[in-house]
Structure 1
């Protein structure tokens, strides 16, 4: 018996070593070291990569591909289920309206900071680059964006065929996340209107969502491995030289992201009488994953989990607000980044922006953030902003060199905001479980990892959602 006990004691990992956050940090450090080693091995990372670069790229791209594979079923089932769950929430219409309002408020603050930093840092000034001859100064057409909302098929899929250098034709299938979002919203609202006749469909949809989230949770547990590949590839491919060539722009972006994440969000948390420390310790696992995966949709299951289990947002409301936020709430990609980027492009090509164009940046950022739709990268939002302002689209290609590195910080801020707004709205409506919000983390990604406590918390959250007396007690 002594031998057995001794064996079990030796084989058991320390609690800190099994922490998800520690594993992510270890992956970051390993990726950084391997990326630097890969750069020293020689070869062009883009045209003639060495073996280590190829390995890191394969690991990172495979992980992102796995995350993307679940995007379509996750968005559809999550949004339909979230709308259906509004039946169980007291004052559902008020919650939905307040959620959208706070999405807009935080986006407005973020884009204002972005414009101010662009004017202050002058990241594109002094280049002496001539304005492109094809530049007309005319603003783009919003109709193309609006028409793009309407799907041509139920799944929002599109196919394109290209000829390879060998002459062979290759067909690739892609999906429009924004169209899938529209489809899911329509189906969810229809299910609400149908009533009891839709119960079998909603039950099937809920079961499918549970299965998909379980699979995604397994994928998320592989994030430390994916982190090694993603960070290693970024360092090996872009290094510090490329960042330095656009140093002022990169610095302005990260200063803006830091101001929103570490100043604006804490102020909002504090003004609502909540602990800043508890918010950051609660949301940090999702922020870490967002930083390395560069995908709000890929991080969605973890974001929803920390919002419910760490921040105390009722499950029925969180399952509505978090998926909606993952597709439309983009303070990093759709507010700070396009604002600074638009100012940068204008300065780079020697174009003076007037007050009306600055106001257009604000309008596009607040109303057009759904264009990013939670996918990796913010090129769509940048293109929309530049075309609306009538700025040269050549600026898009100019900024792509450092986009992967910028996108890490942007997505981290996106996810932090997607958890913040439901927390604020829940607090204002008196349905936030503050006991759970203030629960000790003890270095764990969640308040407690035990299955028994999770079941108790789920039951408590469900009761809070439907019982006005418990809501009043929590208030």
Structure 2
């Protein structure tokens, strides 16, 4: 009997596809650090430019999907609330837990800032700094929710206005009922198309990581960290406390769940948020891990998109509180008890201003302008922002998943068998149709 023919050796590309996605991310991170260091040390301008282009292209691809993704996700999630038992109660409890965790996060940020004085001894020159062209204010925030032109909202990627339009459209579909069913189905189809295309972009995250990290190292080097060392450490420590202590405690004591299972299941979304710096770009993965951890899909389809645009413990709570203290100390401005309470209020109520996009400049200008601090201080933080934004977004994404799990657990609707046994790599284990296209 002749021996069966040996299976062909996998191609290099096939070996890459079989490599766990987290390994690909780490490889991109390490290679980016090395290339960035070489570009800076040897002053290789073309390499710096190449890394910058790769990073920008990846972020642009993520942003390209934002308008249709946010709009259709909100429309479908609101319209599908009719399939959710006790939808109003779930929505209220979700929002309440969003507020509670934001308050805890901003308290941690303020506490770290008061303990460490991040702006003392920074020795940063404020001469020549200019305020942002568009500073956030409460009037702008409130009036900016309602668009004056629908097309402009999508063209300018004003996520807050897109969310407003999505909520109104979804509510109208609920009101009209059967006659609006074609609109709901069309929105679901567009959402599926957008998420499928976005999955392809997500597969490029290791290359995007290489470019983003490499560009930061090549352009700024390690010298940048010295005057911002305390602030950087505060942001990372604060986010780590929220991510690994606060969320774990809530899952254990408020939900009666094993926190380790959450981190096992949610890690693909957390790591993607870290490298992409976009909560909205991570939305398909966040929703999938949330459902894989036992949250009913009907509820997850509402809570996760809602959280991706309003739930920002890293960008809208920890960071603005620490950055405000940093700016005040650099400019020699004293903050009193009333100012700290105002920071907490702005952070908890103004989370939607961050809109799930890369960076938290809008939220920072909103906080600084409310406190009467110099908006020129934003310019001090722009260079270091990409480094801080990675851990902020990872914290955001974790919170956007942990709250639906917590609410579902307290409502007795969480699939405990699924939660206790999270399996598979949420990136590598793409839907069959998507995987077939990716492998082609």
TM-score of the superposition, structure 1-length normalised?
0.84
How many Å apart are 1:366 and its aligned residue?
0.6
How many Å apart are 1:142 and its aligned residue?
2.1
The question of whether the paired residues in 1 share the 8 Å contact of 2:75 and 2:166 is answered with yes
Aligned position for 1:154: 150
Size of the aligned set, in residue pairs, is: 427
Distance 1:349 1:421, change over 3 A: same
1:18-46 deviation digits (Å, cap 9, x = unpaired): 21122111111111111112112216xxx
1:292 aligns with 2:288: no
Distance 1:319 1:53, change over 3 A: same
Distance 1:77 1:287, change over 3 A: same
Aligned position for 1:23: 24
Separation (CA, whole Å) in 1 of partners of 2:385 and 2:16: 36
Aligned position for 2:169: 187
Separation (CA, whole Å) in 1 of partners of 2:28 and 2:122: 38
Within-5 A mapping of 1:84-233: 84-126=79-121, 142-157=138-153, 174-233=156-215
Aligned position for 1:268: 250
Separation (CA, whole Å) in 2 of partners of 1:12 and 1:5: 20
The question of whether the paired residues in 2 share the 8 Å contact of 1:327 and 1:373 is answered with yes
Separation (CA, whole Å) in 1 of partners of 2:11 and 2:64: 39
Aligned position for 2:38: 37
Distance 1:34 1:89, change over 3 A: same
Of 345, 349, 370 in structure 2, the residue corresponding to residue 388 of structure 1 is 370
The question of whether the paired residues in 2 share the 8 Å contact of 1:131 and 1:350 is answered with no
Distance 1:207 1:141, change over 3 A: closer
Separation (CA, whole Å) in 2 of partners of 1:206 and 1:130: 52
Distance 1:40 1:9, change over 3 A: closer
Within-5 A mapping of 1:234-253: 234-253=216-235
Aligned position for 1:52: 47
The question of whether the paired residues in 2 share the 8 Å contact of 1:372 and 1:380 is answered with yes
Separation (CA, whole Å) in 1 of partners of 2:152 and 2:41: 44
How many Å apart are 1:2 and its aligned residue?
4.0
Distance 1:218 1:411, change over 3 A: same
Separation (CA, whole Å) in 1 of partners of 2:3 and 2:335: 77
Within-5 A mapping of 1:59-98: 59-98=54-93
How many Å apart are 1:407 and its aligned residue?
0.5
Distance 1:150 1:244, change over 3 A: same
Separation (CA, whole Å) in 2 of partners of 1:56 and 1:451: 31
How many Å apart are 1:446 and its aligned residue?
3.7
Separation (CA, whole Å) in 2 of partners of 1:9 and 1:66: 29
How many Å apart are 1:13 and its aligned residue?
6.3
Aligned position for 1:372: 354
Say which SS state the counterpart of residue 295 (structure 1) adopts: coil
Aligned position for 1:470: none
Aligned position for 1:170: none
Say which SS state the counterpart of residue 357 (structure 2) adopts: coil
Separation (CA, whole Å) in 2 of partners of 1:24 and 1:352: 43
How many Å apart are 1:175 and its aligned residue?
2.4
The question of whether the paired residues in 2 share the 8 Å contact of 1:130 and 1:349 is answered with no
Separation (CA, whole Å) in 1 of partners of 2:427 and 2:63: 29
Say which SS state the counterpart of residue 245 (structure 2) adopts: helix
1:255 aligns with 2:237: yes
Larger radius of gyration: 1
More displaced stretch, 198-207 vs 14-23: 14-23
The question of whether the paired residues in 2 share the 8 Å contact of 1:19 and 1:445 is answered with yes
Say which SS state the counterpart of residue 4 (structure 1) adopts: coil
Aligned position for 1:278: 261
Separation (CA, whole Å) in 2 of partners of 1:180 and 1:194: 21
Q: Which ranges of structure 1 fall in alignment gaps of 5 or more residues? A: 44-49, 135-139, 159-172, 455-475
Say which SS state the counterpart of residue 245 (structure 1) adopts: coil
The question of whether the paired residues in 2 share the 8 Å contact of 1:128 and 1:349 is answered with no
Distance 1:4 1:177, change over 3 A: same
Separation (CA, whole Å) in 1 of partners of 2:313 and 2:426: 25
Distance 1:68 1:191, change over 3 A: same
Distance 1:436 1:39, change over 3 A: same
Separation (CA, whole Å) in 2 of partners of 1:35 and 1:210: 37
The question of whether the paired residues in 1 share the 8 Å contact of 2:275 and 2:390 is answered with yes
Aligned position for 2:300: 318
How many Å apart are 1:131 and its aligned residue?
9.8
Distance 1:81 1:141, change over 3 A: closer
